[in-house]
Amino acid sequence: MTGSQPPNATALAIVRTQLAHDRTLMAWIRTAFSMISFGFTIFKFFQYLGQSKALGAQPQGTGARNLGATLILLGTASLIGATWQHWRVLKQMEADGYRVGFSLSLVVAVLITAVGLLAFVGAFIRTGVF
């Protein structure tokens, strides 16, 4: 008989568990990225509307800008929390003696978190804070 033995049920269960956690993190990534991009769009739209002299726009309040900034921060904070939770689960699985594979979704989550932080900082460049 040639070839290796098929994985046992425990090994397959660990793989399924890790994939389930990866899918959950990817759902958080989608939600957070949507919140970050929508918040940035709202922020910049009302910033542009407030600066528009050609349309004769009246000075706008900061409520819509605050909503945009809040969405950016909420999306970024939720992704930080989800990334932390995912990382802790993977570390706990390793501590329990299970072999855990590389998590590409964890890398993407960290990168999108950086994008969220840059979007928040970028929204206030040249505009001041609230």
pLDDT digits (tens, 9 = 90+) for 10-40: 888 888 999 999 999 999 999 999 999 999 9
Q: Give the count of domains, the chain.
A: 1
Q: Find the mean pLDDT for residues 35-49.
A: 88
The whole domain housing 37 covers 9-124
Return all residues near 106 (Cβ < 8 A) that are at least 6 apart: 25, 83, 86, 87, 90
pLDDT score at 61? 61
Question: How many angstroms separate the CA atoms of 68 and 42, rounded?
Answer: 5
The yes-or-no verdict on residue 89 having pLDDT over 60 is yes
Residue 3 domain-assigned?
A: no
Position 55 in a domain? yes
In a domain, 83, yes or no: yes
Residue 1 confidence (pLDDT):
46
Burial class (CB in 10 A: 0-12, 13-18, 19+), 106: middle
